[in-house]
């Protein structure tokens, strides 16, 4: 698996995953969520210094499934509700979510799940 981040003259950034160049914005969010794959997720996670485990993948799948159904990124409150149902009360908390994704739901989980930058993150930048 190769991780390469480059910028072209027009400032389109790319990562390399599975022999393909995939366009990202300057913060590393995919420009086209349909280009996401588990290999892309691994590359994006490595760039964030995150080693993906089963709980990470459960959150990633939830975000991806939500997006597939609604063409929108889920709000954190829906993710937390699903975490409580699927992982139990002790793991259905913001604290646990931040343990998995230390820089936050939008900046890391949505990025690794191949989403475009969530609106909330745009407002914080």
* In the chain, domain spans: 5-124
Kindly report the number of other CB atoms within 10 A of residue 54's CB atom. Answer: 7
Percentage of the chain lying above the pLDDT 70 cut: 85
Superfamily of domain 5-124: DsrC protein, C-terminal domain (1.10.10.370)
Rounded CA-CA distance 69/71 in Å is: 6
pTM equals: 0.80
For residue 22, give the H/E element and its range.
strand 20-24
**Residue-wise pLDDT tens digits, 44-101:** 999 999 999 998 998 899 889 888 888 888 888 888 888 888 878 888 888 888 999 9
């Amino acid at each position: 698996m190769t991780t390469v981040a480059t910028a072209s003259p027009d400032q389109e950034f790319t990562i390399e995953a599975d022999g393909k160049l995939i366009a990202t914005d300057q913060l590393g969010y995919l420009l086209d969520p349909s280009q996401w794959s588990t290999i892309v997720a691994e590359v994006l996670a490595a760039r964030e210094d995150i080693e993906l485990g089963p709980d990470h993948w459960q959150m990633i799948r939830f975000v991806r499934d939500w997006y597939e159904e609604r063409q929108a990124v889920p709000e954190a409150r829906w993710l937390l509700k699903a975490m409580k149902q699927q992982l139990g009360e002790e793991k259905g908390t913001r604290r646990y979510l931040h343990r998995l994704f230390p820089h936050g739901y939008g900046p890391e989980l949505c990025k690794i799940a191949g989403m475009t930058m969530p609106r909330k993150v745009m407002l914080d930048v």
